[in-house]
Structure 1
Amino acid sequence: MIVRIVKMGFYKQNIEAFLSNFDVTKQKIRNFEGCLFLELYRDVNDPTVFFTYSYWESEEALEGYRKSELFKMVWSNIKPLFSKTAKAWSVEKFETLD
């Protein structure tokens, strides 16, 4: 399993557009083949910074999404809203404590 973390910074005036876009696309992303989990977080100290946190069955599943028409549509809608370059990490879950 791959955990994908994406950090995105938005211009303040674009936050509502981003949230609206996320609301429209979140179920499509979550239901994409290979996606097991999806959450959206907002930075507590900087309300213009958001993170998506998703689980993918494999690197191949994540790559399938990144090459999909859905990803192209999502990214083309939100990329112009960014105030800074997005950063992304693919990590493996190492340990979970309850």
Structure 2
Amino acid sequence: MFVRIVKMSFKPSKVAVFLENFNNNKQNIRNFNGCRLLELYQDKNDESTYFTYSYWETTEHLEAYKNSQLFKSVWAKTKILFNNKPVAWSVDKIESLN
């Protein structure tokens, strides 16, 4: 399992549009085959910057999602709202303390 982190910065006037799109699709994304967790974070210092954290069983599952109609639909509505290029990381969780 690995974690996918995506940083997205939006035009301030478009944040509400992004949140509506995310809320309309979050259950389908979370329930996509291989996705084990989906979280959305907002930057404390910049209200127009968001991060998604998703946990995937394998890279093949993430690639299947990125090639799906669901992703293409969500991303088409999201990418036009950016005020900066998104940045994504795929990382392996080494340790988690609760």
Shorter-chain TM-score range: over 0.9
User: 1: CA distance between counterparts of 2:96 and 2:18?
Assistant: 31
Stretches of structure 1 that go unaligned for 5 or more consecutive residues are none
SS at match of 2:32: coil
Counterpart residue number, 2:93:
93
Counterpart residue number, 1:31:
31
What is the TM-score normalised by the length of structure 2? 0.98
Stretches of structure 2 that go unaligned for 5 or more consecutive residues are none
1:45 Cα deviation from its structure 2 partner: 0.4
1:16-50: CA deviations, max 9, x gaps?
A: 00000000000000000000000000000000100
- The one-letter code sitting in structure 1 at the alignment partner of 2:29 is I
Identity, % of aligned pairs? 55
SS at match of 2:7: strand
What is the TM-score normalised by the length of structure 1? 0.98
User: 2: CA distance between counterparts of 1:97 and 1:88?
Assistant: 24
Runs of 4+ in structure 1 deviating by more than 6 angstroms, as ranges, are none
How many residues get paired? 98
1:4 Cα deviation from its structure 2 partner: 0.3
- The one-letter code sitting in structure 1 at the alignment partner of 2:50 is F
- The one-letter code sitting in structure 2 at the alignment partner of 1:24 is N
Question: What is the Cα-based RMSD across aligned positions, in Å?
Answer: 0.5
